[in-house]
Amino acid sequence: MRETSSPTFTLTPLAQPVRSVLLYVAMEAEASGIATALALSAPRSLRASSTAMLRDGEHNGLRIQLVTAGRDALLGVDHIGPVFGALAVARALDTCPADVIINAGTAGGFQSRGGAIGALVIARDVQFHDCRVELPNFDALARAHTRLSLSDAELDAIATLLHASVGGVSTGSSLGATSNEIAFFTREKTLAKEMELAAVAVVARERGVPLLALKSITDLVDQHEPAHEAFVKNLAFASARLARAMPQLLQWLRARG
């Protein structure tokens, strides 16, 4: 097996002190428990021209602005995926400047690399796994392989605090995975497969804002149960795990200075 590829891009390091946090969570089912745990406001429109929703409040001395991408008016489902993630975060930063972005959400994991339902993963780096652009440099741009803002020491500290794993996260537009994508996950030693972080990382890079990410596992990509069935069955459990972990993560951020 070849070594994991190195990130092409690197985000702004986490500065001290952190006073304001933009917390992006794609789905309402993932966000509601976090909002309750942090005692945030009721959801309201982020701005008139966007479907994104905002909850805000203070927690342990931090200004928290929790943004979701909202629901589609025609189809009645959450706006999930890379496009809506990037749009929501970019619009939120225009309205709600922050010292750091946190992307929290659920993801597929890998039993072969220690994954389990409800297990937490702290992202070290992220890339798109479903981009195929066979042109020099355009391929790297499309893959957008990005090292997130936390240092190795910071990653280790959070992992110890939350009993989480640290590693690579991979983003795509599909809930399931093809055989080629599974082979890619094996080569890259991916710990979590999800649908927004790499797009959020592009926005963070362009805006110069630090980014970290916490994922909770709903399904195991390398097992036989269909991803959509496992996702629905385990969404509430994995989301509750996120909600319990978020106050601890924010306390760690606040304690940095």
Q: Which run of H or E residues covers position 156?
A: helix 152-162
- Assess if residue 239 is contained within a domain: yes
Q: What is the pLDDT of residue 18?
A: 95
Neighbouring residues of 13: CB distance < 8 A, sequence distance ≥ 6? 149, 151, 210
- Assess if residue 70 is contained within a domain: yes
Q: What is the pLDDT of residue 1?
A: 36
The total number of structural domains in the chain stands at 1
Q: What is the pLDDT of residue 232?
A: 95
Q: Which domain holds residue 54?
A: 16-255
For 42-97, the pLDDT digits (tens) are: 999 998 778 999 999 999 999 999 999 999 999 999 999 999 999 999 999 999 89
Nearest to 124 by CA among 188, 47, 39: 188
Residue 170 to residue 191: CA distance in whole angstroms: 8
- Assess if residue 4 is contained within a domain: no
Residue 2 has pLDDT above 50, yes or no: no
Calculate what percentage of the chain has a pLDDT beyond 70.
98
What is the model's pTM? 0.96
For 143-202, the pLDDT digits (tens) are: 999 999 999 999 999 999 999 999 999 999 999 999 999 999 999 999 999 999 999 999
The CATH number of the domain holding residue 175 is: 3.40.50.1580
- Assess if residue 7 is contained within a domain: no
Q: What is the mean pLDDT of residues 217-241?
A: 95
- Assess if residue 116 is contained within a domain: yes
- Assess if residue 37 is contained within a domain: yes
Strand ranges in 117-210 using DSSP code E only, listed in sequence order:
120-128, 146-147, 165-171, 192-194
Average model confidence (pLDDT) across the chain:
95
- Assess if residue 9 is contained within a domain: no
How far are the Cα atoms of 27, 51, 143 from residue 80, in angstroms, in the given order? 7, 12, 19
Phi, psi (degrees; rounded to nearest 5) at 59: -145, 115
In eight-state DSSP terms, residue 78 is B
Q: Catalogue the active-site residues.
A: 30, 219
- Assess if residue 3 is contained within a domain: no
